[in-house]
Amino acid sequence: MLKDYLRLHFIVLLWGFTAILGKLISVPPVELVFWRTLLATAGLGILLAARQVAWRIPPTEVLRLLGVGSLVAVHWITFFLAARLSSVSVCLAGMATLALWTSLLEPLILWRRVRAYEVGLSMLTMVGLYLVSRAELDQLAGLLVAILSAGLSALFSVMNSQLVKRHTPLRLTFYEMAGACLSIALFFPVYSRYFSEGRGLQLAFHGYDWLWLGVLAGVCTVYAFSSSVELMKRLSAFVVNLTINLEPVYGILLAVLIFGSEEKMSFGFYIGTVVILFSVLIHPVIDQWNQRRSRRKEAVDVLV
């Protein structure tokens, strides 16, 4: 079990490293996500073949997965854009609002009851965001783009919570990566003409771009995903979700170690980030407590 826990933390550390890789790679965000999804699709295709997982599904399901993949593409583009508009730390502080977005979107999409404690934690997250934005006004654009990216991530995560009931995670991710890659390829003509500031497509690598992109696609995407799915067979959902919520913490610490003074923020930023992270980390604890209380109540009702 200790080995599994350490491996899970290593995977979350890799996910926290993605914003740093986005800063290190010189390829623009749209082209960067195209390369990432193209390589990830190829890697996942190899895994599907190696594990002999059936990849054929009904056409309607293919369209659904490809559509969710397009959301993934926009999420990653805005994520890397946020890291370049601001610092990695500010980007990850905005991404920490994922739990807030999920608590807002799940009742709307899945038609479940609104939970009072999630409303309270959402308000606490808003307080943290206010403190961060006040402390780093010059990086407000990056923070807002990161918050938007977190919202998109929550949206496709809620959708995947239903789709994963009908598809194996590996096959689901293969089609979504393919959808992300395809949607960007279809967007290229419009992007190169209206959004590239006259530079056209910039798909060529410079310096160590090829190395960082290989790490991003192969290690942080294909390896991290396949390993996390394997660990979910042995570790509880509570442990996995609680550990994943540490991603901004690991990412900010790595950013300070790698970029040094460039990532040093004001005191108000760290206070706001702590408030956000507290609301994120306490959420699964309260959720687990509520589930146990509900089970005890059901057991008592059965006895009565």
Q: Does the structure show a pLDDT above 70 at 237?
A: no
Mean pLDDT confidence for 194-215 = 88
Q: 109 versus 190: which is more confidently predicted?
A: 190
Tell me what pLDDT residue 2 has: 78
Over its C-alpha atoms, the chain yields an Rg (Å, rounded) of 20
Nearest-angstrom CA–CA distance, 147 and 278: 17
302 pLDDT above the threshold of 60: no
CB-side neighbour CA atoms (13 Å) of 161: 11
* pLDDT tens-digit series, residues 251-272: 888 888 888 877 778 888 889 8
Pairwise pLDDT comparison (233 vs 8), residue with the higher score:
8
Neighbours of 291 (CB within 10 A): 11
When pLDDT is averaged across residues 55-61 and rounded to a whole number, the result is 89
Record the tokens describing residue 207, joined without a space: 């310096």
CA distance 75 to 139: 19
Percentage of residues of the chain with pLDDT beyond 90: 33
Residues 98-132: tens digit of each pLDDT: 878 888 888 888 777 777 777 788 888 888 888 88
Where is 221: in which H helix or E strand? none
Instruction: Give the model confidence (pLDDT) of 14-25 as tens digits.
Output: 988 998 998 899
74, two tokens: 């926009």
DSSP 223: I
Winning range, highest mean pLDDT, from 31-40, 149-158, 238-247, 293-302: 31-40
pLDDT category at 65 given cuts 50, 70, 90 is: very high
Mean pLDDT of 201-214: 91
Tokens of 270: 């760290």
Other C-beta atoms closer than 10 Å to the C-beta of 52 total 6
Q: Does the structure show a pLDDT above 60 at 303?
A: no
**Region 220-244: what's the mean pLDDT?**
76
- What pLDDT, on the 0 to 100 scale, is given for residue 236? 67
Q: Is the pLDDT of residue 175 over 90?
A: yes
Q: For 34-63, what is the mean pLDDT?
A: 90
Query: What pLDDT, on the 0 to 100 scale, is given for residue 304?
Result: 56
- Mean pLDDT along residues 36-46: 92
Tell me what the pLDDT averaged over the chain comes to. Answer: 86
Nearest CA-CA partner of 75 in 171, 179, 231: 179
Helix (H, G, I), strand (E, B) or coil at 239: helix
Identify the band that residue 41 occupies on the pLDDT scale cut at 50, 70 and 90. Answer: very high
What's the token pair of residue 170? 């590996």
